Amino acid sequence: MADIPRRAAHRTAKLASLPLGVAGRLAAGWGKRLTGQDAAEISAEMSARTAEQLFSVLGQLKGGAMKFGQALSVFEAAVPDEMAGPYREALTKLQAAAPPMAASSVHRVLDEQLGRAWRTRFSEFDDTPAAAASIGQVHRATWHDGREVAVKVQYPGADEALRSDLRQLTRFSRLFQSLAPGAEVKPLLAELQDRMVEELDYRTEADNQRAFAKVFQDDAGVRVPAVVASAPKVVVTEWVSGTPYSQIIADGDREQRNTAGQLLAEFHYSAPARVGLLHADPHPGNFMLLPDGRLAVIDFGAVARLPHGLPATFGRMIRLALEDKPAELLELLRAERFVQVDREVQAEDVLAYLAPFVDPIRSSPFHFTRRWLQQQAERVGDLRSPDFRTGRSLNLPPDYLLIHRVTLGATGILCQLDAEVDAHDVLTRWQPGFTG
């Protein structure tokens, strides 16, 4: 496929087909159940078909829908195992695969962005894409000085398509509201929209990556590839080869899993203090374990700007939850707009809601498992539970959105890895407010 489908009506129809398709399959499933077919078999069949459609539609659309698909892929760790299998496979594909654009389209973008003599800047260029990104695809090449490089080329029409997708997704704010009943959804979506639109200019991504690469240049645990060249719709960086986190999730041994998890946790918490930026696109496709034992990080299109490091508020919240101080915790949450102003909520209920989330800090190391994450999702999502009612009174201020989403996404990856991580040590060293 050459370009992204751009016409608003066409893209809207594609997006709309997702929930309708799912509903249709569920209805068919109930029909089969009435005729005596096994419920588990029907459920598995429905999941497989839904996952297939999800991959097909989001993969074709790319743009904003693809980005939402990639964000969702991290949270499959919270879905019960019997339902997650087909989604896991389809969503993992979404992280690294999408129908490629034609070589002629790639060459046209390179002509526009690097000049018609762009071929002289490379000694080799592979027209077959090595990977798909959310709004572009990556080609392997050799720079004129002999360096192996990755060339990320933005899909023609990605800017228009992304803006269209975001407008459509904003129209589904009621659906998002049902997923996060207590949150102010519209400002959250506006913040998400602003951050995604930033990713359209690869020069911004290149500047972000240069900042990370400079700080981590001689780091013993992290490698960030250097930026070789950049333009609004093309960025060229050094090529890195290692074991992708998706592969470690699938079949890594215990040592690999623990190393991958510890390095990711360190990177997530240390980068804001060291760089003033938070890598804000946590999915397994952006991380790999190098042969020398370091973590390689790619794709810096999405970042949160944190010139003063992670907010001390988070550290104080975690500490108060660990120390079982409900009154002080509620006072802090109200002061920082984490509780809706018109809601009455009991301090003990808020502590009961938040305390399990800080379990990883109580014991060192903590074993992050899919089951633990599923339990948290079930606990706060059960309409009959006190935690669900408490959750409806809580709010996520928009300026904390990216940090919250990235922390949740990184936690999802740790659970997919099934990693044992000393999170207490990481927070002690890097989370402001945690130690007082």
Active-site annotation, residues? 281
Among 62-66, 261-265, 303-307, 362-366, name the one with the lowest average pLDDT.
62-66
d(CA 155, CA 149): 19
**pLDDT, greater one: 178 or 219:** 219
Position 23 confidence tier, pLDDT thresholds 50, 70, 90: very low
Q: Tell me if residue 419 falls in helix, strand or coil.
A: coil
Contacts of 121 (CB under 8 A, 6+ apart): 114, 143, 144, 229
Q: Are 395 and 282 in contact (CB under 8 A)?
A: no
Q: What is the pLDDT of residue 365?
A: 95
For position 294, what pLDDT does the model report?
A: 98
The listed range with the strongest mean pLDDT (17-26, 203-212, 345-354, 399-408) is: 203-212
Q: Is the separation of the CB atoms in 304 and 278 below 8 Å? A: yes
Q: What is the pLDDT of residue 279?
A: 96
Q: Which residue has the tokens 């959105």?
A: 401
**Pairing of β 295-297 and β 222-223:** parallel
DSSP 98-129: -PPPPHHHHHHHHHHHH-TTGGGGEEEE-SS-
The pLDDT value given to residue 33? 36
Give the residues across from 143 on adjacent strands: 122
Start-to-end C-alpha separation, the chain: 55
Phi/psi for 149 (5° steps) reads -130, 155
Beta bridge pairs of residue 153: 137, 234
How far is it, in rounded angstroms, from Cα 52 to Cα 45?
11
Which among 179, 248, 200, 145 has a CA at the least distance from the CA of 4?
200
Q: Please state the rounded mean pLDDT for residues 213-218.
A: 96
**CB-CB contact of 398 with 187 (8 Å):** yes
Smallest Cα–Cα separation from 263: which of 293, 286, 241?
293
Pull the structure tokens for residue 165: 């997708």
Return the DSSP state at 309.
-
User: Are 191 and 401 spatial neighbours (Cβ–Cβ below 8 Å)?
Assistant: yes
Q: Is the pLDDT of residue 186 over 80?
A: no
Closest by Cα among 78, 417, 415, 414 to 265: 414
Asked whether 75 and 171 are in contact (CB, 8 A), the reply is no
Q: Is the peptide bond before 181 cis (omega within 30 degrees of 0)?
A: no
User: Does pLDDT of 314 surpass 50?
Assistant: yes
For 95-117, the pLDDT digits (tens) are 444 567 889 999 999 999 999 99
Residues 6+ apart with CB under 8 A from 381: 388
Band (pLDDT 50/70/90 cuts) for residue 40 is very low
Q: Is the pLDDT of residue 28 over 50?
A: no
Q: Which helix (H) or strand (E) holds 365?
A: none
Reply yes or no: is the peptide bond before residue 291 cis, omega within 30 of 0.
no
Angstrom distances, CA of residue 84 to CA of 26, 183, 357, 415: 16, 26, 22, 14
Radius of gyration of the chain from its Cα atoms, rounded to whole angstroms: 22
Mean pLDDT is lowest, of 103-112, 114-123, 218-227, 374-383, for 374-383
Residue 178, pLDDT score: 47
CB 330 within 8 A of CB 350: yes
Would you place residue 267 in the very low, low, confident or very high pLDDT band (cuts 50, 70, 90)?
very high
Q: What mean pLDDT, rounded, does the chain reach?
A: 79
Q: Whole-model pTM?
A: 0.77
Distance of CA 406 to the CA centre of its chain: 7
Mean pLDDT to the nearest integer, 29-57:
45
> What was the pLDDT predicted at 318?
95
Query: What phi and psi, each to the nearest 5 degrees, are found at residue 303?
Result: -135, 155
CA–CA gap between residue 11 and residue 376 (Å, rounded): 35
Q: What percent of the chain has pLDDT over 90?
A: 49
Share of the chain above pLDDT 70, in %: 69
Give the distance, in angstroms, between the CA of residue 59 and the centroid of all CA atoms in the same chain.
16
> By mean pLDDT, which of 83-87, 303-307, 357-361 is the weakest?
83-87
Please choose, from the candidates 193, 431, 429, 158, the residue with its C-alpha nearest in 3D space to the C-alpha of residue 316: 431
Question: Tokens representing 158?
Answer: 């990605």
Lowest mean pLDDT among 56-65, 271-280, 294-303, 309-318: 56-65
Helix (H) or strand (E) holding 327: helix 326-335
Token representation of residue 370: 């899919």
Question: Does residue 234 surpass a pLDDT of 90?
Answer: yes
212 band by pLDDT with thresholds 50, 70 and 90? very high
Cα angle for residues 419, 363, 283 (degrees, 5° grid): 30
CA distance linking residue 168 with residue 183, whole number of Å: 20
Strand pairing partners for 244?
288
Separation CA 362–CA 51 (nearest Å): 36
pLDDT value of residue 16: 45
